[in-house]
Amino acid sequence: MKFGVVVFPGSNCDHDAWYAVRENLGEEAEFIWHDSRRLGAVDAVILPGGFAYGDYLRCGAIAKFSPVMEAVKRFAADGGLVLGICNGFQILVEAGLLPGALVRNAGLKFVCREVLLRTETAESPFTGAAAAGQVLRIPVAHGEGCYVADERTLDELEAEGRVVFRYIDNPNGSVRDIAGVLNAARNVIGMMPHPERASDPLMGSTDGLLIFRSMVSALAHA
């Protein structure tokens, strides 16, 4: 399997994602520059963490106009797997590929620490290797990770089992403790925690690998 890792000016977890896929997962990975209009022959796309375009205007607001995002939208519309991590999640909500928005943490502080996540559904290509209810230890690192959406959207997300991860101890004020959501077709996920930072044994937890492994298994059975 080949993972494409999109690189925006200001991405800073692109190499971590690349490393996790190559070294920890043992699959192929290649970088895709933000002004590329094509993704190339990739099986899945990762929008990595960082501060694309310096987070100017709003997090993800400028990145959504990148040429590569048109290609990402087409890829997602065709059923391709898209994983948005942290800033990647912010870009996906700005681009309208996922509902809701991410705003300044309730406590105003940049939070950088390990958190515990409850896997709310195993029925997704990103959590197929997990058990529903399984608790994962994965770090967060963000200043604007407070997930918000209107009540109707939240009810819809819950009813359709699209809240994929919830914080056990909410670090940022996200409504209903939401840490990650799926789109309606379940092939696009956005999450604030960083699975690529919990993939190498050296980092203290390899729970993040479960997400990448789920993707590989979903692609193998597609």
Partner 1 sequence: MKARVYVSLKSTVLDPQGQTIRAALNSHGYRDISDVRQGKYFEIALDPATTREKAHQDIDTIARDVLTNPVIEEFRIEFLD
Chain positions contacting partner 1, by CB under 8 A:
57-58, 61, 93-94, 99-101, 103-108, 146, 148-150, 173
CA distance 133 to 218: 20
Residue from 94, 120, 142, 194 carrying the catalytic annotation: 194
* Angle subtended at Cα 121 by Cα 116 and Cα 126, rounded to the nearest 5 degrees: 85
**Is 86 a known active-site residue?**
yes
Residue 196 appears among annotated catalytic residues: yes
Structure tokens at 82: 């898209």
Cβ atoms of residues 125 and 83 within 8 Å: no
**Can you give 178-222 as a three-state secondary structure string?**
EEEEECCCCCEEEECCCHHHHCCHHHCCCCCHHHHHHHHHHHHCC
- In whole angstroms, the minimum distance from the beta carbon of 185 to partner 1 comes to 20
Name which of 172 and 214 has its Cβ closer to partner 1: 172
In angstroms, give the least distance from the CB of 40 to partner 1: 29
- Residue nearer to partner 1 on the CB measure, 154 or 218: 154
Q: Which is nearer to partner 1, 93 or 130 (CB)?
A: 93
Of 161 and 173, the one with the shorter C-beta distance to partner 1 is: 173
Minimum CB separation from partner 1 for residue 210, in Å?
Answer: 30
Determine whether 34 is an active site residue.
no
Point out the catalytic residue in the list 86, 94, 144, 146: 86
Sign of CA dihedral 129, 133, 134, 138: positive
Tell me the torsion sign for CA atoms 101, 106, 109, 110. negative
Task: Just list the catalytic residues.
Answer: 86, 194, 196
